[in-house]
Structure 1
Amino acid sequence: MAAVILQAKGLAKAYGGLKAVDGVDFALNAGEIHALIGPNGAGKTTFVSLLSGRIAPDAGQITLAGQDVTALPAHLRVRKGIAYTFQITSIYPRLSVFDNVALAAQSQGARDLAGAVGVALGRVGMQGLAGQEAGTLSYGHQRLLELAMGLALKPKVLILDEPTQGLAAGEIDDFGALVRSLVPHTTVLMIEHNMEVVMDLAHRITVLNFGRVLAQGTPAEIRANPAVQAAYLGTDDAAA
């Protein structure tokens, strides 16, 4: 049985009377690709923001490799091994591709900065674009640059928020191959609305609905789950 690398117990976050995350228990196994899905407003982004330390929980506990990180801010969780790439690209547009990745690698204390940057860019196929100004890249390449920045942090857990949003079909295929190449050395947790991508890539899927876990299982189990079908997977009511 795979070891649990990241775990949440009773995680909760409310905004006024809205319970965005409502007592969620969650376990991420080391070396897996785990997808987090659910309708808009289900609490997905709030949940991963809690895991990464971008916001603080009202209740609950988060552990990374058995260590309690609940009280740690985001930058310290990065040092512990949690990297979170955002739904909207968060690059430095006026810096070169190399410098963007170098900033991430430097934050982890890389001794051979050029080597660390080269490895990260190589993993996403962007070695030839190192000198280009990041803001002049295509949208697809900007998403890959963001991923390279995440990889330069050498994370134990890489959280991807809508990574295929805005990508062309061919870019999505390349992205899938790239994500597969990351495991088992890196564990991937991704929020993704493209169900074809989810079913193709994920080893396990967690479904959130109204801030709670509706279901968890393999792609086949999730596809066959009546509660998930009713809430999310393309029934007439859900599509309305």
Structure 2
Amino acid sequence: MMPLLTTKGLSRNFGGLRAVDNVDFTLMPGEVRAVIGPNGAGKTTFVSLVSGRIQPSSGTIVFDGADITGLPAYARVRLGIAYTFQLTSVFANLTAYDNVALPVQLTLSDRRSKGAVDAGVMAALERTGLADRARMPAGQLSYGHQRLLEVAMGLALTPRLLILDEPTQGLSDSEIDNFIGLVREIAKNATVLLIEHNMPVVMQLADRITVFNAGKILAEGTPEAIRKNAAVQEAYLGTAP
């Protein structure tokens, strides 16, 4: 099976700081991959390079066999790469419905079909548990629900690769349980790349884990292998969870 995503020698410098340092990375179709590591390890910079929000200083990014290194973010969205931000980026003055309608319209050949837009919006809101808040202004939603709204906006793009950056931040325990079920459902039809600090969530969801430290990949493996990895424990986990 051909990888869905690969990076070769991927690096990004900010002045004298190398935030991502010569990273070789492979992601297979249908995989749920967690990216973990201490603050400042380069995780968000790495997924920002993959999504096209920032350009690399060097290296290449290949998606489904095509070199996308020079493509802007909007072109990567059209190829099927959706990214939810570490900090909420919803349109506060629009309703939850209208926030999701914007990406739904990008996926439709006939953007004027109200029935198709409505079906796409409500399907995404129902999957994230927000259907009953469809008409609320997004700015009036709790922080946790704004995070889920971002996931709904990503799902509305029907992505092949969904990148989630700290998605459980601000969620209650019951919402986290629902989110775990949601990601498992998403993974039936898409590949998921997940940055997450909540280690119980990581250990439950991930097929494999990639550990970043100081801009480089420190370790990769199954949750069990990462749990037992002495270098990972020293750099990030402290003690095995």
Name the TM-score class by shorter chain. over 0.9
Contact (CA 8 Å) 1:30, 1:184: kept in 2 or not? no
Contact (CA 8 Å) 1:33, 1:202: kept in 2 or not? yes
How far apart are 1:115 and its partner, in Å? 1.5
How far apart are 1:171 and its partner, in Å? 1.3
Deviations along 1:92-116, whole A, 9 cap, x unmatched?
1111111110001112235321121
How far apart are 1:123 and its partner, in Å? 1.5
Contact (CA 8 Å) 1:97, 1:130: kept in 2 or not? yes
Aligned residue in 2 for 1:122: 126
Q: Which stretch of the first structure deviates more once superposed, 77-86 or 135-144?
A: 135-144
Q: What secondary structure, in the 3-state scheme, does the structure 2 residue paired with 1:95 have?
A: coil
Answering whether residue 198 of structure 2 is matched by residue 194 of structure 1, we say yes
Q: d(CA) in 2 for partners of 1:102 and 1:168?
A: 26
Aligned residue-pair number:
235
Aligned residue in 1 for 2:225: 221
Give the aligned residue type for 2:103.
A
How far apart are 1:3 and its partner, in Å? 3.7
Q: Which stretch of the first structure deviates more once superposed, 72-81 or 130-139?
A: 130-139
Aligned residue in 2 for 1:70: 69
Contact (CA 8 Å) 2:86, 2:166: kept in 1 or not? yes
User: 1:6-155 to 2 correspondence within 5 Å?
Assistant: 6-109=5-108, 111=110, 112-155=116-159
Deviations along 1:137-158, whole A, 9 cap, x unmatched?
1222211111110001111100
Deviations along 1:135-183, whole A, 9 cap, x unmatched?
1112222111111100011111000111111111111111111111111
Structure 1 residues 3, 122: CA separation in 2 closer, same or farther (over 3 Å shift)?
farther
Q: What secondary structure, in the 3-state scheme, does the structure 2 residue paired with 1:4 have?
A: coil
Answering whether residue 208 of structure 2 is matched by residue 204 of structure 1, we say yes
Stretches (4+) displaced over 4 A: none
Q: d(CA) in 2 for partners of 1:220 and 1:204?
A: 9
Percent identity between the aligned chains? 60
Contact (CA 8 Å) 2:148, 2:167: kept in 1 or not? no
Give the aligned residue type for 2:227.
R
Unaligned runs of 5+ in 2: 111-115
Q: What secondary structure, in the 3-state scheme, does the structure 1 residue paired with 2:4 have?
A: strand
Give the aligned residue type for 2:174.
G
Contact (CA 8 Å) 1:34, 1:204: kept in 2 or not? yes
Q: d(CA) in 1 for partners of 2:154 and 2:188?
A: 16
Give the aligned residue type for 1:10.
G
The normalised TM-score by structure 2 is 0.94
Q: d(CA) in 2 for partners of 1:233 and 1:139?
A: 27
Aligned residue in 2 for 1:185: 189
Deviations along 1:3-35, whole A, 9 cap, x unmatched?
411111110011122111110000111111100
Q: What secondary structure, in the 3-state scheme, does the structure 2 residue paired with 1:21 have?
A: strand
The RMSD of aligned alpha carbons is 1.4
Q: What secondary structure, in the 3-state scheme, does the structure 1 residue paired with 2:25 have?
A: strand
Q: What secondary structure, in the 3-state scheme, does the structure 1 residue paired with 2:11 have?
A: strand
Aligned residue in 2 for 1:238: none
Q: d(CA) in 2 for partners of 1:110 and 1:195?
A: 41
